[in-house]
Structure 1
Amino acid sequence: MGHPQGNGAIEAANKIIFDSIKKRLGEAKSLWAEELPWVLWAYRTTPRSSTGETPFILSYGTYALLSIEVGLESYQTEVFQIENNEVGLRANIDLLEEESEAAHQRNLKYQLQAAQYYDSGVKK
C-alpha cells in the first residue's frame, strides 16, 4: 500500500473532521477543542462506504462500545466478564489481518465501480 498522503486520504479525512466540527459548533467557534474528541470518535466509529468497516475495527479488530451504551442496561453489558473479554479481544486481534484484507478487497471493488461509473461518461 502507498502512503495516504499520496492519494489525498489525509486531506479528505481532515475535510470531513473540519466540516463535522463546524456543524456541531454553529456560532460558538471558540469551543472547537471541547468538541474535537467527540467528532474524532464519531469519525472513527462510522463505517466507510469503500471498505464497509469503521477505522476503529480495522485498527483494533473489534467494535467500539459507544459512550451512550455504557450506562444502558443491555445483554452485552449484563454478561460482561473481564476474563472472557480479554480472550475475545485476543481472538479479534488474530483475525485482524484477515479482516483488513477483506476490507482492502472491498475497497478495490469500490474503486473499480467508481472508475467504471466515471469512465462511462467519457466520450471517445
Structure 2
Amino acid sequence: SFNTAISQMMIFINEVYRINKISQEYAEGFVKIISPIVPHLGEEMWHKLGHDHTIAFESWPTYNPDKLVLNTITMGISVNGKLRGEMTVGIDDNDEVIKTAALEVESVKRHIEGKTIMKIIVVKGRLVNIVVA
C-alpha cells in the first residue's frame, strides 16, 4: 500500500541519517523509487545528483537477491527469565556455539558471576535462557 511504501522509504532515510553517508548509486536508486510518488521532488533531486536529463525515462532500480539472505540473527539472552543482553550469531550456528557465545556477553557475565549454571535453554532464532542458582 501507499503507507507501506512511504514507511519503507522513511526507514531507509533514517538509516542514511544514522550512518551519515550514502553512495551515489543508492541515492540515485532512492530518487528513482520516490519519483513516481512525488515527481517534482524526484526531478529536483535527480538534477542535484548531477544529471542533465529527466528521470522519467530512467530504468527502474535493480536489486541483488543475495543481499536479502540473512546470514546472522540477533538473539536475546535472559538470566532466570530476565532479559540481560543480546548477541548476534550465525543463522546456522548450533546450540553449543550459541550457548558459548551467550556466556561471553559482558552483561550476562555480571549476572551469572559466582552462581551455578543449572541449565541453558536455547530457543532457536529467538532467545537463550540461562538458569542459575
Higher-Rg structure is 2
Q: Note whether the superposition's TM-score is higher than 0.5.
A: no
Greater share of strand residues, 1 or 2?
A: 2
Normalised to the residue count of structure 1, the TM-score between the two structures is 0.30
| TM-score of the aligned structures, taking structure 2 as reference length | 0.29
